[in-house]
Structure formats: structure tokens, C-alpha cells
Amino acid sequence: MNWDWEKLQQRKWQRQFGWKPGEGGPQKPEFPKLKEILDKWGGAKLVVLLLILAFVGWMLSGFYIVEPGQVGVVQRFGEKVQRTEMGAGLQWHWPAPIEKATKVDTQQIRSFEIGFVRIEGRKRVDRDEALMLTRDKNIAHFEVIVHYQVEDPANYLFEVNDPEMVIKTAAESALRSAVGTLDIDRAIVAEGLSRIAHRTQNLLQVLLDDYNTGIRVVSVRTERGDAPQEVREAFHDVVRAMEDKERLIHRAEEYRENVIPRARGERAERVLQAQGEVKRFGQLLVEYQKAQGVTRQRLYLETIGEILPGVKKIILDKDAADTVLLLPEGGTVSFDQIGQRN
């Protein structure tokens, strides 16, 4: 079956727009409903209706939501006029261009690195930032992480341009100043790293307060402090030798603190003992001068009493032990046997 596409197209136009062949082409479509509305309301009323709808939409655009941890700052023609409470929820301001609302997260802990950057989980050293000069004119390699949060949203938004760049520049300046107060052998050990981090945090906070940045430094952590890569191994040998020196010094000091008090105690004990002996001898001399025979016998007995307890001895009655001698080991011997041996 052959289709006459031209006739089909003509019938389509005729059904939709009332066009007939030979009338010079299709007629413009008519919109009876729109025409009816225009006739009913008139052109001016329709414009007013459209303006009302536009105004309502403009007013609705002034609503915004302050999430938990956020603070909203409202500007009117560029001037700060309002600051919302933290997590205030649904708020409204005059829409642009009259007012503008900016939300700042004051609870978020932000951070940045000095001396290195992390790209896709990998650490890449930035030598321009990491290499610093110590007090003894040596070059040291430091890597630091700074944590901070926004304390004053208004100052953070309006007092400085690009606050992230400002705090990083100030932190690098504070770090270099802190490193410059220590020699390299003190700066890269644990105690030195702790002092550098503490001093950097304090100095950085002072700088940020002077700039009115509205930022509070939460912490400064030294990730690494070391000699440059070119001389690192040789420097580690020096550091180990210094640590051995310190360890030996501490060991000697501990020995001294242990021995000297003990020696002083023994000295005091001997002095007191000697003084007691002198005093006792003086008393014995007085007693000896009063009764020499009695005193001499008493001294003899006391001396024998001190000597005999440490000597093996046999005490006999001269009348009862004339035949058998009992020995401490359990054996026996007679005086006749002793005489025969002799």
C-alpha cells in the first residue's frame, strides 16, 4: 500500500489549526484559555499578580537553617547587623541584595601541616617549609601539624582576607622563631620538640590575636624534628654519643647520691662509737684508781666473756672428770689415753 505523506501532513495541519489547502500555509495557533484569562483580568492585573508571586518568592529566599555547631552572621549592605546563637535552627533575613547570611562552623577542629603535605594518603615533604635555622646556625628539618577552630565568626569573616593563609603564614613564622631559640642538639630531642611545640602555640596565638582573626589555636604537634637528609646518619651518630654521655653522667650521679650519704652515715656512726669508747675508758679509769684489784679482775672476766663464746671449749669439774672426757662431737676419751698419746 502506497502512503501519500504529503496528504497526511495536510490533514494533520487541518485538524490542529484549521488550515485548508490553498490558503497560503498553516495559520498561527490560538490559545482560547489564555485569551479568556487576559480578557477577564486585564493586562495590568496580570502584571500585578506576577509581581506579587515574585515578591513572595523573593521573601521566601531569606530563610536559612543554622545547623548544630554553626553560627550565622547577617550583613546588611555589607555591615554586620546580627549574629545568631549556635545551632539556632530556622532563621530569616532580608533577601539579597539587602542582607546576606553566612554560616560558620565554630565547633569544627581544622588543621594544616607545615613541612609536608598529604596527597591521596601519601606524605610529600616540602623542603622550603621544613628546613629551618637553629640558634647555633645549623639547619634542621621540622614537620608540624597545627589544629585550630573559629572562636569569633565575625572577625574570622571580615577582619582578614583569606584567614587560612594568614594562620599558616603566622604559624610558620612562630615555628621558625621557636626553633631559633635552641641549638640543634637540643631542638631535635624529645624535650626540645615539646618546648618548640609549646612555644610555637603561645607565639602563634599572640599573633592571631593581634591580627583579630577570631581563631583559637587548639594544639601544635611536632611530627618530626631531625637533621637534613644529607647529613642525617652522621648526625644520628653524634646524637647517640651524646645520649651515651648523658646516660653515664646520670649513672655516676646516682652512684654518688647512693655512696656519699652511706659513707657519711658510717662516718658518723664510727665517730659516735669512738666517743662512747673514750667515755667508757674514762669511767673505767676512775673505777680502776679506786679499786685496782677488783677492777682488773672484772676487766679480765669481761674480756674472757667476749672471747670464749666464739671458741670451742670444754669445761670440767676437776673432781668429777678424772677418768672420762666427754667431747662435743659425741665421742669420749679417758685421761689414761691422753697420757699414752703424750
* pLDDT at residue number 289: 79
Tell me the CA distances in angstroms from 278 to 89, 287, 299, one per residue in order: 94, 14, 16
Q: Whole-angstrom Cα distance, residue 333 to residue 316?
A: 13
Mean pLDDT by 10 residues, the chain (342 residues): 58 58 51 59 70 86 80 79 74 80 85 88 85 88 92 87 90 93 85 91 93 92 83 77 87 88 88 87 79 79 77 62 52 48 46
- The dihedral built from the CA positions of residue 31, 37, 42 and 47, taken in this order, carries a sign that is negative
* pLDDT at residue number 199: 94
3-state secondary structure of 275: helix
Burial (CB < 10 A; 0-12, 13-18, 19+), residue 302, is exposed
Q: Whole-angstrom Cα distance, residue 27 to residue 1?
A: 32
Q: Whole-angstrom Cα distance, residue 119 to residue 117?
A: 6
Q: Whole-angstrom Cα distance, residue 147 to residue 215?
A: 10
3-state secondary structure of 117: strand
H-run or E-run covering 266 = helix 232-290
Q: List b or e across 127-142, with b for residues whose CB sees 16 or more CB atoms inside 10 angstroms.
A: eebbebebeeebebbb
* pLDDT at residue number 106: 84
* pLDDT at residue number 313: 64
Q: How many CA atoms lie less than 13 Å away from 28 in the CB half-sphere?
A: 3
Tell me the CA distances in angstroms from 190 to 13, 143, 225, one per residue in order: 90, 14, 9
* pLDDT at residue number 338: 47
* pLDDT at residue number 137: 87
Distance of CA 244 to the CA centre of its chain: 28
* pLDDT at residue number 220: 93
* pTM for the whole structure: 0.56
In the chain, how long is the greatest CA-to-CA distance? 179
H-run or E-run covering 142 = strand 139-150
* pLDDT at residue number 339: 47
3-state secondary structure of 107: coil
Question: Domains plus CATH for the chain?
Answer: 63-105 (no CATH), 110-227 (3.30.479.30), 314-342 (no CATH)
Q: Whole-angstrom Cα distance, residue 256 to residue 207?
A: 48
Q: In this structure, what C-alpha cell is assigned to residue 282? A: 674514762
